């Protein structure tokens, strides 16, 4: 299991990305939950899960 922290280049939301290399996932894309920017495209060879960890401040303005 690989864990990485990534940040949306568009709105600066923070995500924890967890990749399960021993499992096959679904091909597709993951979009930022805040601004809908595409953060990653998956080929389905591994299972990748994202969790929103940092909500950008401008959401509360
Ligand atoms: Zn975003």
What pLDDT is recorded for position 57?
80
Would you say residue 35 lies in a domain? Answer: yes
Q: Ligand 1 centre and the CA of 46: distance in Å?
A: 23
Structure tokens at 16: 């924890």
Would you say residue 30 lies in a domain? Answer: yes
What pLDDT is recorded for position 60?
57
Q: How far apart are CA 13 and CA 7, in angstroms?
A: 6
Q: What total number of domains does the chain contain?
A: 1
Q: Ligand 1 centre and the CA of 35: distance in Å?
A: 4
Q: How far apart are CA 36 and CA 20, in angstroms?
A: 24
What pLDDT is recorded for position 59?
58
Residue range of the domain that includes 42: 2-55
Would you say residue 60 lies in a domain? Answer: no
Closest CA to 9 of 44, 34, 42: 34
pLDDT (tens digit per residue) in 12-59: 999 999 999 999 999 999 999 999 999 999 999 999 999 999 998 865
Q: 3-class SS at 18?
A: strand
What pLDDT is recorded for position 12?
95
Q: Ligand 1 centre and the CA of 28: distance in Å?
A: 17
């Amino acid at each position: 299991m690989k864990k990485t922290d990534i940040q949306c280049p568009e709105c600066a939301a923070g995500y924890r990305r967890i990749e399960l290399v021993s499992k096959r996932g679904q091909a597709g894309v993951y979009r930022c939950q805040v601004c809908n920017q595409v953060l990653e495209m998956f080929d389905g060879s591994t299972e990748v899960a994202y969790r929103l960890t940092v909500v950008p401040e401008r959401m509360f303005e």
